[in-house]
Amino acid sequence: MKSNSDTANQEGIEQPNRRVGRRALFTIVAVSLIAAEPALAQTSAVCEADGLPEVISEFFQLTTGIGVIGAVAVWQGDSLLEMFTVSPDQRERLKRHKRVALKSVVILLGLGPLYTVAGSMMGLPLAECVDLVPW
């Protein structure tokens, strides 16, 4: 059981910690608001640059294509290994690995269109000038 002096000491320690926490929170909010202004002013620079939106779109399509090819190779390799495995534990691990590869493909193919649609609805300038749909 705590004595009154322990409780008083604990409350005395918590007061400065609360003040420090409040100051830190205030500082973070103030810096975020001040730093966000110049960042918001620069968002249209990507769209105004000559050829940059096309380069970003082509890079996204290239990396998505490479990712899909890699996932297909993993899927095929796991299917081949699954034919030659003996233990049920190994088969289960290979099936889990195939599911992870399938989830990766779904994320790769869904992330670009999702950003394009959600970004244009939210008014993000990059989503309006850069096409991230891989097909």
What is the maximum alpha-carbon separation in the chain? 72
Condensed to tens digits (0 to 9), the pLDDT of residues 23-69 reads 766 677 665 656 555 445 455 677 777 888 888 888 888 988 899 99
Average pLDDT, the chain: 77
C-alpha 63/C-alpha 69 separation (Å) is 10
The three-state secondary structure class of 53 is helix
Binned at pLDDT 50, 70 and 90, residue 77 comes out as very high
Of 18-32, 64-78, 96-110, 120-134, where does mean pLDDT reach its minimum? Answer: 18-32
Cβ-in-10-Å burial (0-12, 13-18, 19+) of 71 comes to buried
**pTM confidence score:** 0.58
